Amino acid sequence: MVRRRSAWLCALALAAVTASACSAGTDMVGAQPPAPTVGFGSVAPSTSSTGGSGGASTAPTCDATASSLAPTAAAANGPDVTAIKNQGYIRVGVSADQYLTGYLNSAGHEEGFDIDLADALGQALFGTPKKVQFVALSTADRIPDLRASAATRKVDVVIDTMTINCARLLQVGFSAVYYTASQKLLVDKKPDGTPSYTSIAQLAGKKVCAQSGSTSIAAIQAAKATAMEVTNVTDCLVLLQENTVQAISTDDTLLAGLAKQDPNVTVVGVGLEPEPYGIAVPPNEKDLEEYINGVLAQYESDGGWAASYAKWFGPSLGPAQPPAAQYSD
């Protein structure tokens, strides 16, 4: 069965890569993500190393959920936080096409669960979220940009459904966990409304789409399925609609957003693995890490987290509480 592309999906994808308007005082810089480094829907290479995709076979072991430094009062005056304050704004790497977490709305403004968190960080630093500059980064470009020199990097932090894992902790720093997602599947519905597949095991030998540089690729390959990688998650939905792939595998937060865009697909499967999200920072910027953890603690305690979750995920994923903060020190 060849399914047509939904017109509204194409409109959303177009908006995600072309809009550059900004809300009052909040800039969207580089709304078009960088050109993909892989072909559209190409087969992903093996994730046997500790590279950006976080391959599991040789990755070091650690407690990824308790890897960040506890907040301190001194962090607000640390050199890295001071540099951002002196800069006069904070540059936040985000997605431009992940519905519910970070995307450009019809007016060209960034919104979503991660965007609310970025606004809270801007509020803490400058007394207003209008000092946040949103910079669209592809999944594969997040770590390389954070590891670039201070003079050449495009962002100060990344808030983009970024999973904390041991391989990535060797390359960048992370805040404490601000949300724990679960990797699941998005599949077509049959004519009777039931899902075409219900587990990753049923997809052995078949094609499953994921973003290049994401932790999802390793889980797909471990299930003996062929991982087809793309730059943006909306590209996966197009490939599923065209029957080029049989499923999409990524975090349930992202799949919930895709499912809201197409009534012919559904989220299925027991969570393949937990995906603890953290705010990524350049390596060795310890005072920035500590400061962000203080902002997170306040955001969760004052009800900001709960309000944002209820707005973006509550209807799709049900009730939830913010994860309990754990630190390495």
Crossing angle (nearest 10°) for helices 286-301 and 113-126? 110
Report the distance separating Cα 191 and Cα 307, nearest Å.
Answer: 37
Number of domains the chain contains: 2
The verdict on 88 and 152 lying in the same domain is: yes
CATH, residue 110: 3.40.190.10
97 and 193 share a domain?
Answer: no
pLDDT confidence of residue 28? 56
The answer on 88 and 22 residing in a single domain is yes
What's the gap between Cα 255 and its chain centre?
12
In percent, the amount of the chain with pLDDT more than 70 equals 83
Look at 31-45, 60-74, 273-287 and tell me which has the smallest mean pLDDT.
31-45
Same-domain pairing of 196 and 212: yes
Whether residue 246 is found in the same domain as residue 286 = no
Domain membership of residue 189 as a residue range: 181-274
Count Cβ atoms within 10 A of the Cβ of residue 321 and give its class: 0-12 exposed, 13-18 middle, 19 or more buried: exposed
The verdict on 214 and 248 lying in the same domain is yes
> Which tens digits make up the pLDDT trace of 286-327?
999 999 999 999 999 999 999 999 999 998 888 999 999 999
CA diameter of the chain: 61
With the CA atoms of 168, 170, 176 and 178 taken in that order, what torsion angle do they form, in degrees rounded to the nearest 10?
-10
User: What is the reported pLDDT for 96?
Assistant: 87
Query: For the chain, what is the radius of gyration of the CA atoms?
Result: 19
pTM, full prediction: 0.78
Q: Residues 102-159: pLDDT tens digits?
A: 999 999 999 999 999 999 999 999 999 999 999 999 988 999 999 999 999 999 999 9
Query: Which pairing describes strands 110-111 and 102-104: parallel, antiparallel, or unpaired?
Result: antiparallel
Dihedral (Cα; 183, 184, 185, 191), 10-degree rounding:
-160
